[in-house]
Structure 1
Amino acid sequence: MKLAVVGGGSTYTPELIDGFARLRDTLPIEELVLVDPAADRLELVGGLARRIFAKQDHAGKITTTTDIDAGVADADAVLLQLRVGGQAARNQDETWPLECGCVGQETTGAGGLAKALRTVPVVLDIAERVRRANPDAWIIDFTNPVGIVTRALLQAGHKAVGLCNVAIGFQRKFARLLDVTPSEVHLDHVGLNHLTWELGVRLGGPDGENVLPKLLAEHGDAIADDLHMPRQIVDRLGVVPSYYLRYFYSHDEVVRELGTKPSRAAEVAAMEKELLAMYGDPTLDEKPELLAKRGGAFYSEAAVDLAASLLGNGGSPVQVVNTYNNGTLPFLPDDAVIEVQARVGHDGATPLAVSALDPLYAGLIANVTAYEDLALEAALRGGRDRVFKALLAHPLVGQYAYAEGLTDRLIAHNREHLSWA
């Protein structure tokens, strides 16, 4: 089995490598190729990756290349984890929206749109290369904004499934609080990527006992603290929203907060510098503790599980993924990409049935899906007016003056990545 990781020079990658090494029985990789245009970073990460495999007695071969075509040749699956423009572009996404009084965040709002515009054309080019190399290869997209990027891939006819670590993070957290194994915890996870709610937490499977009320009663303070939301909001909802819902539920408060501290991108850039120095240490043969602060917790385990299922090598039969709606949420188009529990196998992902949603959640999902329609159109066809319409449709913008100012700033900060600008 051969896997390729595009964006393999990311400081995330040792987390992925550690998972591949530990879970070799689930996903028996014979060859792993790390692909990245940043040759210096790639060699540092590649060296550590080989040492991690060696320490854990994994017989798989790890190679590195800056050549996408060479890297994806004959790959059974390709994982995409790229960041077009790097942390510098992310820093812009997190700062210029604040000038207009809007949230600065790299995956939602105006910053998320900027990331989508930069990313979709690049990902589609890579996907075409994968298809030419092996039309049967699966593409696993971890590249944000996952929902929009996965939709672009699916609409172009690629064998693709989107992946996020929010659900597996909740599963692991709830398992610890309940003192059970993660495999015993089933989430009623519903929504769009970075716009999801845990409507139930069931023990033993989809039809198991819903212990969410117990979790909120006994551990509500800890759960709310992790979400950076007031306990009373979580209690009033009676569900657990993802961390990203704070940008919607506490927008103005978050804008004030973001304006008083360095951007997350600045923090991550400093962390990455330290991590890369560690990766260059020839005695380091495991992922460093600092990596846990970088983000992406449990990404490796989710990626292994998904790849194993898609490639017919086991894996959990039900996983949270991003895939076509196909009637699951009846108020959305079939070709909307949703994030829900799905049955996953070698033919792809089929969402499980979802109970009728409270309008409180359905309304916001429908609103953001409409924005994603317009965002994808802007990413594929370009043009200032398309960017403006997408911003005007986003519930975190929604005002004419804001959309005008944000459009100008988005284009000014991203000209080098926009062929039409």
Structure 2
Amino acid sequence: MSHDALKLVTIGGGSSYTPELIEGYIKRREQLPIKEIWLVDIEAGMEKLKIVGAMAQRMVKAAGLDWEVHLTLDRQAALKDADFVSTQFRVGRLPARIKDERIPNYYGLIGQETNGAGGIFKAFRTVPVILDIVADMKRLCPQAWLINFTNPSGMITEAIRTYGHWDRVIGLCNVPVMAMLSEPELIGKTLDQLTYKFAGIDHFHWHRVWDESGQEVTMTIIDKLFGDNDAGLPTNIFDVPFFKDQLAAMRMIPCGYHRYYYRQEEMTAHGLAEYRENKTRAQQVTQIEEELFELYRDPELDYKPKQLAERGGAHYSDAACEAIASIYRDKKTHMVVSTLNQGSVPDLPSDHVVEVSAQIGAAGAVPMAFGHFQPAERGWLQLMKNMELVIVEAAVTGDYGLALQAFTMNPLIPSGATAKRVLDELLIAHQAYLPQFADKIQALIAAGIMVQDTVAAELSEVTQVVSD
């Protein structure tokens, strides 16, 4: 890529994460000859876009840069001749996330943003929107790279490749970044002294680590992770320790989200306790979000406030900036990304998306070989990946039977009448964002199905879609 005046576009520009994105660009000013940054949102997100956009303009000005920061609701104008497009939106905003958490909770199930029933519905709402964006990119910026950190990132990247037929895409997650930032000091090392290898799928990966002499130090890190240390754990995950004997058997470090599967009983109990107090994670985040935008309104604020770290997605945006700089400069940086498998994880098909260590450069992501998993991890991974494929197909086709299949496969949803009830209520609660399921939703409403959780039922009156 030889452009010397880059046009960067962020869809979901009114997100509370945008200041971190701008900070990341400013930090890489020597690497990226930026001319224009376009922050795009939709009508319902206009107020947030104006607040965070004005702050972005102040940050650029404070850095002494002459970049143009455009705020727009016109996605087509923004995408025209773009070089890089990043996506950070939430269909249905935080009220949708509250419903994703509270409706399963009402029936005693885990309610979580990217796992279980809530994660499935986040994909159902998001996949049609991302495919629309890809269709626009094919017309307006066919040479652009799409850097996605809209969750569930792995499934969204899968949809982009399999159904959008768009190859110039990289999916990002902050969880591996946090592990690599926090673990080295546990064993008295710096990151540049260690070699990391990650493999799996988004929010369901494992990693191993070697030191500069070639010795594997995975178990040394595992030893240090026990006790009072929750190194690298995202703020949105309750810290129930893994069983040490289990980690000793797998000889790998699971990501924080594995707690929902390896300690499902305890994680469910904690989630239900929060639910009973009207403090689900989405409700907590709504409060944090309001406080952040109150800060962003300050006309003197021209830097990213420390409170953003509490939001739960720290380092996402910086990872996006690094991916863009690595592609543009052909840096061949090691990053952990969602990309086409191409044999790096031989236990999964080579033509589907995995999350792996990869070299990021002008050719995009070149995945590093990880090799076979042991039977326990192989079994988990094959189940979870095949469930993802079912979810994405259901999101594209609106096939209710496939949606029920996904619910039946999911380890966090006991199969049976309750699973079907949760599926039906979530369909009704999110009907404004699920046109592909419209006929089935009308049939369910006609049959008298209603959302039972009172908070979720009230929010279901609200119909708006904007950035997270």
Q: Which range, TM-score by smaller chain?
A: over 0.9
Percent of aligned pairs with the same residue?
A: 37
Is the contact made by 1:202 and 1:208 (CA closer than 8 Å) also made in structure 2? Answer: yes
Cα distance between partner residues in 1 of 2:90 and 2:107: 25
Would you say 1:378 and 2:394 are equivalent positions?
Answer: yes
When residues 366 and 223 of structure 1 are mapped into structure 2, their CA distance, relative to the original with a 3 A threshold, is farther
Is the contact made by 1:305 and 1:315 (CA closer than 8 Å) also made in structure 2? Answer: no
- The structure 1 residue matched to 2:197, chosen from 188, 199, 208, is 188
Superimposed CA distance per residue, residues 61-118 of structure 1 (whole angstroms, 9 cap, x where no aligned partner): 2111111111111110100111000000000111111223321001111101101010
Is the contact made by 1:84 and 1:119 (CA closer than 8 Å) also made in structure 2? Answer: yes
For the residue of structure 2 that corresponds to 1:39, the secondary structure is helix
After superposition, residues 160-239 of structure 1 pair within 5 angstroms as: 160-198=169-207, 200-204=208-212, 208-224=214-230, 227=233, 228-230=239-241, 232-233=243-244, 235-236=247-248, 237-239=250-252
- The structure 2 residue matched to 1:257, chosen from 235, 245, 270, is 270
When residues 131 and 222 of structure 1 are mapped into structure 2, their CA distance, relative to the original with a 3 A threshold, is farther
Cα displacement (A) at 1:177 = 2.9
Would you say 1:295 and 2:312 are equivalent positions?
Answer: yes
Would you say 1:399 and 2:415 are equivalent positions?
Answer: yes
Would you say 1:31 and 2:44 are equivalent positions?
Answer: no
Letter in 1 for 2:147: I
Query: Which structure has the higher relative contact order (CA within 8 Å, separation 6+)?
Result: 2
Cα displacement (A) at 1:219 = 4.5
After superposition, residues 2-21 of structure 1 pair within 5 angstroms as: 2-21=7-26
Q: Which residue of 2 aligns with 1:143?
A: 150
Is the contact made by 1:3 and 1:33 (CA closer than 8 Å) also made in structure 2? Answer: yes
Cα distance between partner residues in 1 of 2:77 and 2:130: 16
Cα distance between partner residues in 2 of 1:297 and 1:270: 17
When residues 402 and 226 of structure 1 are mapped into structure 2, their CA distance, relative to the original with a 3 A threshold, is farther
Q: Which residue of 1 aligns with 2:48?
A: 41
When residues 188 and 356 of structure 1 are mapped into structure 2, their CA distance, relative to the original with a 3 A threshold, is same
Q: Which residue of 2 aligns with 1:324?
A: 340
Task: Out of 144-153 and 17-26, give the one that drifted further.
Answer: 17-26
Q: Which residue of 1 aligns with 2:299?
A: 282
For the residue of structure 2 that corresponds to 1:259, the secondary structure is helix
Would you say 1:412 and 2:421 are equivalent positions?
Answer: no
Which residues of structure 1 form unaligned runs of 5+?
Answer: none
When residues 401 and 2 of structure 1 are mapped into structure 2, their CA distance, relative to the original with a 3 A threshold, is same
Cα distance between partner residues in 2 of 1:183 and 1:62: 35
Q: Which residue of 1 aligns with 2:96?
A: 89
- What's the Cα RMSD here? 1.9
Cα displacement (A) at 1:133 = 0.8
When residues 28 and 360 of structure 1 are mapped into structure 2, their CA distance, relative to the original with a 3 A threshold, is farther
Is the contact made by 2:20 and 2:304 (CA closer than 8 Å) also made in structure 1? Answer: yes
Is the contact made by 2:111 and 2:117 (CA closer than 8 Å) also made in structure 1? Answer: yes
Q: Which residue of 1 aligns with 2:82?
A: 75
Letter in 1 for 2:37: L
Cα distance between partner residues in 1 of 2:232 and 2:374: 24
Q: Which residue of 1 aligns with 2:325?
A: 308
When residues 178 and 298 of structure 1 are mapped into structure 2, their CA distance, relative to the original with a 3 A threshold, is farther
Cα distance between partner residues in 2 of 1:371 and 1:398: 15
Cα displacement (A) at 1:222 = 4.2
Q: Which residue of 2 aligns with 1:112?
A: 119
Normalising to structure 2: TM-score of the pair? Answer: 0.85
Which residues of structure 2 form unaligned runs of 5+?
Answer: 1-5, 234-238, 439-468
For the residue of structure 1 that corresponds to 2:183, the secondary structure is helix
Task: Out of 22-31 and 72-81, give the one that drifted further.
Answer: 22-31
Cα distance between partner residues in 1 of 2:204 and 2:297: 37
When residues 314 and 345 of structure 1 are mapped into structure 2, their CA distance, relative to the original with a 3 A threshold, is closer
Cα distance between partner residues in 1 of 2:427 and 2:359: 40
For the residue of structure 2 that corresponds to 1:32, the secondary structure is strand
Cα distance between partner residues in 2 of 1:135 and 1:411: 34
Superimposed CA distance per residue, residues 352-390 of structure 1 (whole angstroms, 9 cap, x where no aligned partner): 111221122111110011111110111000032121111
Is the contact made by 1:171 and 1:186 (CA closer than 8 Å) also made in structure 2? Answer: no
